[in-house]
Amino acid sequence: MNFKIRSRGFSLIEVMVALLVLALGILGISKLQGTLIRNSSDANQRAVATSIAQEKIDDLRSFANVKSADTWSESTDSSALTVNQLAFNHIENNEGGAPAGTVDLLANKVITRGNANYTLTWEVEDYVFDTPMSAASLASSTVTGDLKLVNVNVAWFDEMGEQQTVSLSTFIDARNPGLIALSGASKEGGEPPVGEYTPEAAPDVINVQVDTGGNKFRQTSKPLPDAISQGQDANTVVTFEVVTYSTYNGPIADLDFVADTIEEYVTVDCKCQFSASNSVSRTAAHVRWNPDTNSRYDYPGDLVSKETATPTGNVNAVDELCTTCCRDHHDVNDATKPVYVPGTTGGNHLHYQEDGSVASQANGDTYIESCRMKRIDGIYRVFQDWNLYDLTVIERGELADGGALQSPYSNYIEDFVLDFIIDPDTAVKPSARSPVSLTEGAGAQLQSRGVFIDNVYDDTGSVNPTDFTNYVSSAANADRVDKIPFAEVNLTLLSDWSSSDTSKVTVTNEAVATIPDSAVDYYGLYSRGFILALDEADPDPLVTSVMRRDNDGLTQQTNRPSPGVQTDGVDIDISAGAGPITLTFSFDGITYPSAREGTPELNITGGGVCNPEEASDAFTCFVTAPWTGTAQITVEVTSGPQAGRCTGQSTVYSASSLSSDTTHNFGIIDCN
């Protein structure tokens, strides 16, 4: 069989049509690809422009002062300020932020990133609270805007030659960065806002009245030691606040107390290394007196050229604090500049290495420094060193509400700080604090309470100027105690304790450990100042507390010679014990407002261990007879709505030489 095979192909016309369709497709794809590339490039340029704008905002927020007499214009480069000189009031149209050479973000300058050139500008509008201020009103007013509205613009030309713009807006606060707490002691930060305050409770925090009307008080929160270690590196940080508060008489309902000033302190030890050459840093921040307003305020120190150092070998958690500490804590030979270390004359104070030897202060030489830092206008400044002028040992229970020594001790502190300025020294510690009476086997917590007082200067550097001392000396000034910069601090867990006869009475003196929260088990994380009576003694053994006067007392450093110590002690009168007895204290319930609930506590003096009874409104205490002491039940609700808060306490139960099991009922406790 024969087959014919027929072969067919594409005609020329069909090939030409196919090529035409393919060409049109390729042309469309190439045009789409070009559009995609341009869109991708535009998105990338827009992202870069946004990044530049955000960098400028962060740069403007990085000021180190609120106000400054220095001038800075980024557009004209009229001055060469350091980063430490930058201020909030430098932020104006196309001005403000880091100086030339620090950040490459200058006004009206073309910034090249990749293949594009970007022009950066910004406009600034001043506000006081929520009201904008015109340039004319600012020029005629002594008030500096609390806020600045900043509009940052970044412009560039895209690949098509068309101008594109990205704009970011933000408010910058005059108290930035970080002036969130009240800082009424600051002259430059403006008046503090009204803030509700709930006073901390005795016996660990004591009120000192600072006006004659009985409406204003000062108290210091319990110090919070933080002993940090990381590998071979270790640091100690101690924080607390000094709060002056007053009775509220304004229109806000259910507001009992307001904080007039909250002064924040951090004391830290740092390992530092001397720099090769001098550089600009601050002299000691200190307290100054304003004779026009009869008020004290915090001065942040002056920028001068002097020796500096950098931190080395510290844990990461203190890097920021130690950078400032090592850089600034150096004195200069200028009588108008208050010094960090008391008694320093003719230049920088001595620095000491870890082994106690004097550092040569040559480049690369290392040393240990303890710095006291205070928040001024929202920024921690290195303040003049602490100076402890008084130490008082007292039984903790006697300082509780209703305790026999709370009012006498508070009055003593008021007299002591007045005498410090006025002279002569007539203040007398409460005599009833010693001896502390215990029976064999009984124990008690002692407290070591200190008084730090700062010098006050005028603008020329003279200490305790006449205007200040005259004001404080006049009894006609009801707030004269408030004008004295002092802090009454519970130093129990930072003082060193000892007993003159450990066979008769022992006292705890454990190593400092971290206390993350003063409201939780303050004496439970480590113990100092707890005494235990072992045996009768004649004469009475003496329990003593010792505290360095300077910064090293708080940070527990011993590498440099002490400028002096404060010491105090109490005698312990130990009587024979007749064996353990049980005291039971009950109550018939507690009335709370707004159906709230709280946890009742029992405060007892005279030694003993007390525990709440399960599912019962009662406490059981185990003491050693004969027992002499007091007991009182207290209850507080200090959180939640104001209307639901309360403080109540029972009457005080007291006994002398009690030798048998005893029960006592306090009735109903009214927590209102």
**SS3 state at 18:** helix
Residue-wise pLDDT tens digits, 191-207: 445 578 889 989 999 99
Residue-wise pLDDT tens digits, 625-646: 888 889 999 988 877 777 778 8
Amino acid at 500: S
DSSP-assigned beta bridge partners for residue 570: 543
> Of 623, 627, 645, whose CA–CA distance to 636 is shortest?
645
Beta strands at 303-306 and 295-299: parallel, antiparallel or unpaired: unpaired
Cβ neighbourhood burial of 282 (10 Å; 0-12, 13-18, 19+): buried
Which pLDDT value is given to residue 146?
A: 64
Supply the angle between the helices 406-422 and 466-473 in degrees, to the nearest 10.
Answer: 140
End-to-end CA distance of the chain: 122
**SS3 state at 660:** coil
Report the predicted TM-score, pTM, of the whole model to 2 decimal places: 0.70
Would you say residue 494 has pLDDT above 90? yes
Mean pLDDT, to the nearest integer, of 542-554? 97
Which pLDDT value is given to residue 424?
A: 80
Beta strands at 366-376 and 379-383: parallel, antiparallel or unpaired: antiparallel
Which pLDDT value is given to residue 598?
A: 83
Mean pLDDT, to the nearest integer, of 473-490? 97
Which pLDDT value is given to residue 191?
A: 44
Residue-wise pLDDT tens digits, 602-614: 989 888 888 888 7
Would you say residue 139 has pLDDT above 60? no
Residue 511 pLDDT grade (very low, low, confident, very high; cuts 50, 70, 90): very high
Structure tokens at 407: 């009012």
Residues near 447 by beta carbon (within 8 Å), at least 6 away in sequence: 203, 204, 393, 394, 395, 396, 399, 490, 492, 529
Mean pLDDT, to the nearest integer, of 341-357? 92
> Do 298 and 187 contact (CB within 8 A), yes or no?
yes
Residue-wise pLDDT tens digits, 174-189: 754 433 333 334 444 4
Would you give the distance in Å from CA 268 to the centre of its chain? Answer: 12
Q: What are phi and psi of 407, to 5 degrees?
A: -65, -45
Which pLDDT value is given to residue 499?
A: 98
Residue-wise pLDDT tens digits, 6-48: 555 667 777 787 777 777 777 766 665 555 555 556 778 888 8
For a pLDDT cut of 70, what percent of the chain falls above it? 85
DSSP class per residue in 310-350: EE-S--GGGHHHHHHHHHH----S-TTS--SSTT--SSPPP
Beta strands at 436-439 and 565-575: parallel, antiparallel or unpaired: parallel
> Do 456 and 289 contact (CB within 8 A), yes or no?
yes
Q: How many CB atoms are located within 10 Å of the residue 578 CB?
A: 16
Q: Is the dihedral of CA 238, 244, 249, 251 positive or negative?
A: negative
Residue-wise pLDDT tens digits, 388-424: 999 999 999 999 988 899 999 999 999 999 999 998 8
Question: Which phi-psi region, left, alpha or beta, contains residue 59 (left: φ > 0; alpha: ψ -120 to 50)?
Answer: alpha
Which pLDDT value is given to residue 68?
A: 67
Residues near 509 by beta carbon (within 8 Å), at least 6 away in sequence: 496, 497, 498, 528
Q: What are the residue ranges spanned by the domains of the chain?
A: 18-173, 208-383, 390-396+428-575, 579-670
Which position has the higher pLDDT, 328 or 95?
328
Which pLDDT value is given to residue 136?
A: 39
Would you give the distance in Å from CA 276 to the centre of its chain? Answer: 32
Mean pLDDT, to the nearest integer, of 72-80? 49
For a pLDDT cut of 90, what percent of the chain falls above it? 48
Structure tokens at 273: 């290394």
Residue-wise pLDDT tens digits, 272-311: 999 988 988 999 999 999 999 999 999 999 989 999 999 9
Instruction: Name the H helices within 93-218.
Output: 135-139
- In this structure, which long-range contacts are made by residues 509-513, counting pairs with CB atoms below 8 Å and at least 24 apart in sequence? 511/227, 512/225, 512/227, 512/236, 512/556, 513/225, 513/227
Instruction: Dump strand ranges (E) for 347-442.
Output: 366-376, 379-383, 388-395, 436-439
Residue-wise pLDDT tens digits, 226-283: 999 888 899 999 999 999 999 988 777 778 899 999 999 999 999 999 998 898 899 9
Which pLDDT value is given to residue 314?
A: 95
Which pLDDT value is given to residue 10?
A: 64
Q: Which of 150-164, 581-595, 633-647 has the lowest mean pLDDT?
A: 633-647
Would you give the distance in Å from CA 33 to the centre of its chain? Answer: 58
Would you say residue 473 has pLDDT above 70? yes
Would you give the distance in Å from CA 528 to the centre of its chain? Answer: 24
Would you give the distance in Å from CA 525 to the centre of its chain? Answer: 22
> Of 570, 547, 569, 551, whose CA–CA distance to 560 is shortest?
551
Which pLDDT value is given to residue 507?
A: 97
Cβ neighbourhood burial of 403 (10 Å; 0-12, 13-18, 19+): buried
Which pLDDT value is given to residue 564?
A: 93
Which pLDDT value is given to residue 20?
A: 78
Beta strands at 528-533 and 505-509: parallel, antiparallel or unpaired: antiparallel
Residue 56 pLDDT grade (very low, low, confident, very high; cuts 50, 70, 90): confident
